[in-house]
């Protein structure tokens, strides 16, 4: 699968290329690596010298967040105009404008920085580990803790954690598309390559960020962090993350505001200049109008919503790699999920060994224990084994076999892959007799066995019908003590069956019901037997269970598959390519798709989905491909995440709809008033203060309650809908503004100061209190109650605005006391205004159309996702240019005394 277009380039000067051109013994000698790997103390010393194995930092940077607040060109122009006004004598206005801009930026900074800190804390909880040989035994360590000289084990599905010079390779192939753009995997071996070999031809190295496509291997780390080839490319990427659908919607909405603000600002400035009003006042007023129509705190509202949502989700054991992924999670219509650990407990228990013919149950168990591709620790247990191997070794029956196994020796391994669906080993028994053992999916193992009795097939069908997982074990004599090949997996004798139990979770039926009420369709995609998967789904109450197998999918084109997906609940015995195809075809129907998986065979589908979901115990390649990580593999937890995403989106849209409609109405009123008033309808500082108070009251929107109907269906950005809402409700706001103008001029005969004060109070009241009508499609307060914080802040801001003319700040702000009768008129206008909005709301929503569903572009999605796993909260180091020895230059000394020990430092991006 082609994921990037990074060109192949010569890297003869790179550490990997230099190591690949030399024999492994020379590389180990230069790095001063003993036979048992580095000691923990030596690894700690090297980590201190070379720094963490990271190319990025996920540390929250205060200066970067502050720059996001200050980079608005409107704010820059406003500050520039304020400085000019200060030097031309309008010092009080300039100071007031400066203070308001600082407060607005400070408020946004505080909320966004808090959200960044939340994201940093969430990122720190996601762990990526590698199996290394340290202190003479295999152990798991953090990927960021690897150092040059570490000896690393590679298995199927691993993401290579650093640039490695291979020491062993058994059928090893790596997918290097993230580096070279080539979709086909590359075969690996341990032979040196010629000096100057290009990146794509370094067969003796496994490169950071690439994926083990099949086979296994062992290699020594020669470069970490930004010194690795992947690190050099990833460090050169822009720090800008890939946009999600939610961010695309925000950007499009912002462009809409830019066009509206630009048109109004230009028009108002021209009108005021044409009417011979002071130039500086006209400039400040038009810029203030532009700032006023822009929801300045929209990023803060969004960040506050996402940060609050992520904290709630974290308490529910859901971690998001990026906060905005919460919004996308709420858009999901269809969820494809695996079976094991999702519908079932995932705590696989070994039940029994079923022998065939003369084989005993103890022999079948012994063969199953011996047939594993992972390294074993000093207790003889596999390190980082698969769940079935772990269940077998943890069973009481295995304890009696460990003493017997000590006399057996594993000679070679042919690792598991998803085409063969088997693992094969050659072993020698205590009498030095060599035997080949194969363990895997019963269908594929039985195909390679001779003379399988019919009762065995019947017993196997009975186990599947009972919902049990079964692994077949077969043997035959081996001709020599060598590593097996796929050609050796023939003419086998079936030794027996290993039966495992993975029962359904007790509360998963309830979780499936919740997802159904949220409008999510759940479908099962599994490599397990179709009878087992269907039995589990039936026990959980899933109705209309249609079943398709991988063989069925191969016989369908995409059009037939699209139709079949609608009527199918279980897809069984499917390959990784099948899973990705199912997701891709489902996406073409227009719905948003999530995929939940935790294995290497799920990575393609995770990448293909709109939202990839994995678990903390998943394989590295699955966690790398996922957007959301579940600390607990529970559909109930996932339902919480979907509902939370929809709540956040609903609350964000409340602010957007209210801000665009009321702000547009108020600014349109200001433009109209400029035509007939001999003075500015409101001072620039008053417009900014009005906008600041109004936005401050809306910071409580993330705490608001959301109507159930908004949670029970996905929601999407619809700029056309927002534009129609603005055009519909903006004039209603303007209508009451013009009524206020009439009352101030013809009833109270107001002068400029009183007029400014009256419109300030009325506009703040109407645009703040309208949130109670806009926040719901129901009747407010009666059928939909706002949250207490939102109610208190809205009423508090309105009260503050009404009280400001009576305070000592009135003269500074350009206010004066208003007559009591005006407040009675304002109260009546607010009530009528809200009633009119309620009537307009019912008419508007009755005619509203469903939004279109945009398809997000992937861009460098794979590269950025993979780079995220090589990150720390500390500052990574950037390599500095140094002269490297050529391939034929003698190398002497160990790592602590050679040029290699003077590794370049890397710095943060």
Is pLDDT above 60 for 865? no
Is pLDDT above 90 for 805? yes
Quick: pLDDT tens for 506-524: 788 888 888 888 888 899 9
CA distance 402 to 264: 81
What per-residue confidence (pLDDT) applies to 6? 34
Short-list 717, 707, 703, 719, CA closest to 643: 707
Q: How confident is the model at residue 149 (pLDDT cuts 50, 70, 90)?
A: very high
Is pLDDT above 50 for 881? no
Between the two ends of the chain, the Cα-to-Cα distance in Å is 29
What per-residue confidence (pLDDT) applies to 530? 85
Q: 3-state secondary structure string, 528-584? A: CCHHHHHHHHHHCCCCCCCEEEHHHHHCCCHHHHHHHHCCCCEEECCCHHHHHHHHH
The residue-averaged pLDDT of 493-499 equals 91
Per the DSSP assignment, residues forming a β-bridge with 492 are: 449
The residue-averaged pLDDT of 382-390 equals 70
What per-residue confidence (pLDDT) applies to 889? 36
Quick: pLDDT tens for 713-770: 877 777 778 888 888 888 888 888 899 999 999 999 999 999 999 999 998 999 899 9
Q: What is the mean pLDDT of the chain?
A: 78
The residue-averaged pLDDT of 601-622 equals 78
The single residue listed with the structure tokens 């995609």 is: 525
CA distance 408 to 428: 6
Quick: pLDDT tens for 203-250: 999 998 888 877 889 999 999 988 888 877 766 554 444 455 555 666
Q: How confident is the model at residue 882 (pLDDT cuts 50, 70, 90)?
A: very low
CA distance 697 to 792: 9
Is pLDDT above 80 for 430? yes
Is pLDDT above 50 for 587? yes
Q: How confident is the model at residue 801 (pLDDT cuts 50, 70, 90)?
A: very high
- Measure Cα distances from 209 to 863, 876, 877, 896, 904 in Å: 9, 17, 18, 27, 20
The residue-averaged pLDDT of 584-613 equals 81
CA distance 258 to 237: 28
Contact 608, 580 (CB under 8 A): yes
The mean-pLDDT minimum among 69-83, 181-195, 602-616 falls in: 69-83
Short-list 412, 384, 388, CA closest to 169: 412
The yes-or-no answer on residue 338 being catalytic is yes
Higher pLDDT, 363 or 237: 363
CA distance 645 to 496: 49
Q: How confident is the model at residue 866 (pLDDT cuts 50, 70, 90)?
A: low
What per-residue confidence (pLDDT) applies to 258? 67
The mean-pLDDT minimum among 40-44, 416-420, 727-731 falls in: 416-420
Q: How confident is the model at residue 472 (pLDDT cuts 50, 70, 90)?
A: very high
3-state secondary structure of 644: helix
**Pairs from 357-364 (Cβ < 8 Å, separation ≥ 24):** 357/453, 359/495, 359/496, 361/496, 362/400, 362/401, 363/495, 363/496, 364/473, 364/495, 364/496, 364/497, 364/498
Higher pLDDT, 829 or 226: 829
Has this prediction a pTM greater than 0.85? no
The single residue listed with the structure tokens 């028009």 is: 267
Instruction: Let me know the angle formed at the C-alpha of 515 by 512 and 517, rounded to the nearest 5 degrees.
Output: 110
Is pLDDT above 80 for 39? yes
CA distance 857 to 876: 29
Query: Does an H or E element contain 271, and which?
Result: helix 245-274
- Which tokens hold the place of 119? 């994201």
What per-residue confidence (pLDDT) applies to 871? 59
What per-residue confidence (pLDDT) applies to 787? 92
What per-residue confidence (pLDDT) applies to 90? 64
3-state secondary structure of 166: strand
Is pLDDT above 60 for 573? yes
- Please state, as a whole number, how many other Cβ atoms lie within 10 Å of the Cβ of residue 151: 24
- Which tokens hold the place of 897? 């005394």
* Burial letters 116-140, b for 16+ CB under 10 A, else e: bebbebbbeebebebbbbbeeebbe
What per-residue confidence (pLDDT) applies to 250? 63
Quick: pLDDT tens for 392-401: 887 888 777 7
Q: How confident is the model at residue 818 (pLDDT cuts 50, 70, 90)?
A: very high
Residues 6+ apart with CB under 8 A from 79: 97, 98, 101
Check the CA dihedral 314-319-324-326 and report its sign: negative
Annotated catalytic residue, options 338, 528, 552, 640: 338
Contact 437, 501 (CB under 8 A): no
CA distance 693 to 799: 11
CA distance 614 to 309: 19
The single residue listed with the structure tokens 């002269």 is: 883
- Pairing label, strands 163-175, 334-337: unpaired
């Amino acid at each position: 699968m082609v994921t990037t277009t990074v060109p192949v380039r010569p890297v003869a000067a790179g550490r990997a290329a230099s190591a690949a051109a030399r024999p492994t013994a020379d590389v180990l000698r230069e790095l001063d690596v003993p036979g048992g790997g580095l000691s923990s103390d030596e690894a700690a010393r090297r980590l201190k010298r070379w720094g963490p194995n990271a190319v990025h930092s996920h540390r929250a940077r205060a200066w970067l967040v502050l720059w996001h607040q200050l980079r608005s060109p409107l704010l820059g122009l406003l500050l520039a105009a304020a400085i000019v006004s200060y030097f031309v004598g309008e010092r009080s206005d300039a100071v007031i404008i400066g203070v308001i801009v600082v407060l607005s930026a400070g408020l946004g900074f505080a909320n966004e920085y808090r959200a960044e800190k939340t994201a940093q804390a969430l990122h720190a909880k996601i762990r990526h580990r590698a199996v290394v040989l340290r202190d003479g035994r295999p152990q798991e360590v953090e990927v960021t803790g690897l150092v040059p000289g570490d000896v690393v084990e590679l298995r199927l599905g691993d993401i290579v954690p650093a640039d490695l010079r291979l020491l062993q390779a058994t059928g090893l192939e790596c997918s290097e598309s993230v580096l070279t753009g080539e979709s086909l995997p590359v075969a690996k071996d341990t032979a040196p390559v010629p000096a100057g070999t290009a990146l794509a031809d370094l067969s003796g190295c496994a490169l950071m960020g690439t994926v083990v496509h099949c086979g296994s291997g062992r290699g020594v780390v020669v470069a970490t962090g930004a010194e690795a080839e992947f690190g050099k490319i990833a460090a050169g990427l822009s720090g800008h993350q890939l946009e999600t659908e939610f961010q695309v919607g925000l950007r499009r909405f912002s462009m809409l505001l830019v066009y509206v603000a630009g048109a109004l600002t230009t028009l108002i400035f021209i009108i005021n200049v044409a009417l011979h009003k002071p130039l500086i006042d006209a400039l400040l007023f038009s810029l203030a109008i532009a700032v006023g129509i822009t929801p300045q705190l929209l990023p803060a509202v969004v960040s506050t919503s996402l940060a609050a949502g992520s904290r709630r989700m974290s308490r529910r054991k859901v971690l998001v790699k990026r906060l905005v992924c919460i919004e996308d999670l709420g858009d999901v219509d269809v969820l494809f999920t695996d079976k094991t650990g999702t519908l079932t407990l995932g705590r696989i228990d070994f039940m029994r060994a079923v022998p065939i013919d003369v084989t005993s149950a103890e022999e079948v168990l012994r063969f199953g224990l011996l047939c594993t591709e992972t390294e074993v620790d000093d207790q003889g247990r596999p390190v980082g084994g698969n769940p079935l191997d772990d269940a077998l070794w943890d069973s009481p029956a295995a304890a009696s076999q460990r003493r017997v196994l000590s006399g057996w020796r594993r000679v070679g391994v042919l690792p598991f892959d998803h085409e063969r669906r088997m693992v094969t080993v050659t072993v020698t028994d205590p009498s030095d007799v060599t035997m080949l053992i194969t363990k895997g999916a019963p269908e594929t193992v039985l195909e390679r066995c001779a003379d399988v009795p019919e009762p065995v097939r019947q017993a196997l069908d009975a186990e599947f019908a009972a919902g049990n997982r079964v692994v077949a074990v077969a043997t035959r004599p081996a001709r020599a003590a060598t590593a097996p090949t796929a050609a050796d997996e023939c003419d086998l004798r079936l030794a027996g069956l290993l039966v495992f139990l993975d029962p359904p979770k007790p509360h998963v039926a309830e979780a499936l019901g919740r997802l159904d009420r949220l409008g999510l369709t759940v479908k099962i995609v599994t490599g397990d037997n179709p009878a087992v998967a269907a039995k589990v789904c039936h026990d959980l109450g899933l109705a209309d269970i249609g079943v398709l197998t991988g063989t069925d999918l191969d016989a369908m084109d995409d059009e037939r598959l699209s139709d079949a997906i609608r009527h199918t609940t279980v897809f069984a015995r499917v390959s990784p390519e099948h899973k990705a195809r199912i997701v891709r075809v489902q996406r073409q129907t227009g719905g948003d798709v999530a995929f939940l998986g935790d294995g290497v065979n799920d990575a393609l589908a995770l990448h293909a989905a709109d939202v990839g979901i994995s678990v903390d115990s998943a394989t590295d390649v699955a966690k790398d491909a996922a957007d959301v990580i579940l600390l607990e593999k529970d559909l109930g937890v996932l339902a919480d995440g979907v509902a939370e995403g929809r709540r956040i989106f609903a609350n964000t849209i409340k602010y957007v709809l209210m801000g665009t409609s009321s702000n547009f109405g108020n600014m349109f009123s200001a433009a109209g008033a400029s035509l007939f008033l001999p003075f500015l309808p409101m001072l620039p500082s008053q417009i900014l203060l009005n906008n600041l108070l109004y936005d401050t009251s809306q910071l409580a929107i993330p705490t608001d309650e959301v109507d159930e109907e908004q949670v029970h269906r996905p929601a999407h950005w619809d700029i056309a809908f927002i534009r129609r809402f603005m055009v519909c409700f903006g004039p209603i706001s303007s209508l009451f503004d013009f009524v206020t103008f009439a009352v101030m001029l013809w009833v109270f005969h107001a002068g400029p100061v009183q007029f400014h004060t009256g419109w300030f109070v009325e506009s703040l009241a109407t645009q703040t209190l309208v949130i109670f009508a806009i926040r719901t499609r129901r009747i407010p307060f009666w059928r939909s109650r706002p949250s207490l914080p939102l109610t208190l802040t809205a009423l508090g801001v309105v009260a503050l605005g009404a009280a400001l003319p009576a305070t000592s700040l009135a003269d500074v702000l350009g206010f004066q006391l208003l007559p009591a009768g005006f407040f009675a008129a304002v109260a009546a206008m607010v009530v009528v205004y809200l009633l009119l909005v309620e009537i307009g709301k019912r008419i508007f929503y009755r005619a509203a159309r469903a939004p279109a569903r945009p398809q997000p572009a992937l861009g460098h999605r794979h590269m950025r996702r993979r780079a995220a796993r090589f990150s720390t909260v500390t500052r990574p180091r950037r390599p500095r240019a140094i002269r490297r020895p050529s391939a034929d230059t003698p190398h002497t000394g160990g790592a602590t005394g050679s040029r290699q020990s003077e590794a370049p430092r890397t710095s943060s991006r």
